[in-house]
Amino acid sequence: MGRTPLLHVVRRTFTTPSNYVKTGNLTSSATTTHFGFENIAEDEKQSKVHTVFANVADKYDLLNDAMSVGVHRLWKNYFVNSAPLLPNSRCLDVAGGTGDIAFRLMERDPNGIRDITVFDINQTMLDVGMNRAKEEKSLNLNKLKWICGNAEALPFEDNSFDLYTIAFGIRNCTHIDKVCVMFF
Ligand SMILES: C[S@@+](CC[C@H](N)C(=O)[O-])C[C@H]1O[C@@H](n2cnc3c(N)ncnc32)[C@H](O)[C@@H]1O
């Protein structure tokens, strides 16, 4: 797609950009956007993306394996192993879906993580993730939080997290500029 599909940002200060909130002048002026190989009206994208993931949620992990021949596991392992984890980190995994990144972070360093919030716009994906987590006996469920919301408007106070991750999620968002200003 020509875009980086995996991204992590580590900051001690996690700040809502006040100039963005006040003026909104970073909003894209385009009225169409990409959806797969199509160009569609911007205001249609969120519901189309939502429908796609709601429909595949219970098969999402299987589909990922089938479509990438398992290679997504290697990308995700590499991504998580290269994340700059600080001791006792509060982690936010945006567009976290069924929890693949969160589970790997937890497995990488169970003691180094204070908690991980899996944040996604699609409650069905989060529900699948929560069920997976319950079946995964090695995970400390008390450290996992599941929150439904939009990556373009994170509902968190400044300085709430030490590590922000987003994997295969930015391309699904309508306003990538809004997603990006959220982690700076
Ligand atoms: C391809 S999946 C990636 C899931 C997970 N990160 C992984 O690597 O397996 C993309 C996820 O982005 C979510 N998503 C799409 N638009 C979003 C938005 N605006 N805010 C938050 N999540 C969004 C979808 O619901 C979906 O769960």
* pLDDT-based confidence at residue 21 (cuts at 50, 70, 90): very low
Whole-number pLDDT of residue 52: 94
Tell me: the pLDDT tens digits for 119-155? 999 999 999 999 999 999 889 999 999 999 999 999 9
Query: For residues 181 and 36, what is the distance between their CA atoms, to the nearest angstrom?
Result: 24
Find out whether 113 and 106 touch, Cβ atoms under 8 Å. yes
Domain ranges for the chain: 6-182
Ligand 1 centroid, distance to 118 Cα (angstroms) = 10
Q: Write down the H helix ranges in 35-182.
A: 42-56, 60-68, 71-81, 100-108, 123-135, 176-182
Closest C-alpha residue for ligand 1 atom 11: 95
- Inform me whether the pLDDT recorded for 70 exceeds 80: yes
* pLDDT 10s digits, 96-106: 999 999 999 99
- Rounded to two decimals, the pTM is 0.87
Amino acid at residue number 136? E
Which residues have CB under 6 Å of ligand 1? Answer: 49, 53, 95-97, 100-101, 120-122, 125, 150-152, 167-169, 172-173
Residue keyed to tokens 């290679």: 71
Give the position, in ligand 1's atom list, of the atom nearest the Cα of 6: 8
pLDDT at 13: 38
102 CB neighbour count, 10 Å cutoff: 29
Minimum mean pLDDT among 14-23, 55-64, 117-126: which range?
14-23
In sequence order, which residues have a C-beta less than 8 Å from that of residue 26 and are 6 or more positions away? Answer: 20, 177, 178, 181
Q: What is the per-residue pLDDT for 4?
A: 55
Whole-number percent of the chain with pLDDT over 70? 86
Percentage of the chain beyond pLDDT 90 is: 72
Q: What's the confidence (pLDDT) of residue 25? A: 40
- What is the model's pLDDT at position 8? 76
CATH superfamily, domain at 6-182:
Vaccinia Virus protein VP39 (3.40.50.150)
Structure confidence at residue 11 (pLDDT): 53
- Which is more confident, 6 or 166? 166
